[in-house]
Amino acid sequence: MTTVLKLGGSVVTDKSTPETVDDDSLDAAVAAVADSDPSRLVIVHGGGSFGHHNAEKHGVSDSQGTHDAEAVFEIHDAMRRLNDAVVTRLQDAGIAALPVHPLSLGARDAEAAFSLPLDSTATMLDEGFVPVLHGDVTAHAASGATVVSGDELVTTLARGLDADRVGLCSTVPGVLDADNEVIPEITAFEDVASVLGGSDATDVTGGMAAKVRALLELGAPAHIFGPDALPRFLAGGDAGTVIRD
Ligand code: IP8
């Protein structure tokens, strides 16, 4: 059973203060992972106040690239420091966590399709480690380097590792309906298109509609939930909104 878990930037950092770890929230997530005694777990974390702050400063996004090596390094270095904090806390809690840095492995082609060789991650899993990846910058053909988000890494990992379960933990409790209630299950995009908006419009903002569409294509159930539901997800239960084809 292989599980891919994303801890959103809002869970691991204090988004209102540049380059600040949210100690209480990260500690709670780490405790939930440690209590679950995981096997074959891959963790991905978002950028929060580390990545986005630095990417904005240099005008770099997932489509807007740069050839300025110092700018690329500054964005990557902020994410690497956040990754160090996450890995260290997991190790302190007894988890065999190891870092995997997408900048050193991945690339986008000229059509912006992202690929990531997974030999190191898969071998770490086979050897009982918990690989911890992070949103990052990645070399991008004809554009220099662009941002790769944690969500993009999650779908790449889930496909490449043939994951059985995917979890996206952020500060929202799930996909919300028009009354702000969590939708327990989504099996077709048309069923939620009206509440998510723009059923046939291209979702340039990368909002919930794009996320749901990408997760419906995964072939593994994906759970979108808030921090309170993390222990339930790690115990194998349904958490928040479950998206399955
Ligand atoms: O928070 C973004 O990752 P995300 C990473 O998962 C950077 O979108 C470098 C901004």
DSSP state letter for 228: G
CATH number, span 3-243:
3.40.1160.10
> From ligand 1's centre to the CA of 84, what distance in Å?
16
Nearest to 122, CA basis, from 220, 4, 242: 4
Ligand 1: which atom is nearest the Cα of residue 48? 1
Tokens representing 202? 């291209």
The helix/strand/coil state of 169 is strand
For the chain, the structural domain boundaries read: 3-243
Strand-pairing partners, residue 211, are none
As for ligand 1, residues whose beta carbon falls within 6 Å of it are: 9, 46-47, 51-52, 55, 75, 79, 135-137, 147, 149-151
- Does residue 199 carry a pLDDT above 70? no
Q: Looking at ligand 1, which residue's alpha carbon is closest to its atom 8?
A: 149
Can you give the pTM of this predicted structure?
Answer: 0.95
For ligand 1, what atom is nearest to the CA of residue 136? 9
Q: Give the separation between CA 203 and CA 210, rounded to whole angstroms.
A: 6
The type of residue at 172 is V
Chain segment 128-177, per-residue pLDDT in tens: 999 999 999 999 999 999 999 999 999 999 999 999 999 999 999 999 99
Q: Output the pLDDT for position 206.
A: 58
Q: Encode pLDDT of 99-117 as tens digits.
A: 999 999 999 999 999 999 9
HEC string of 64-100 equals: CCECCHHHHHHHHHHHHHHHHHHHHHHHHCCCCEEEC
pLDDT tens, position by position, 1-53: 999 999 999 999 998 899 999 999 999 999 999 999 889 999 999 999 999 98
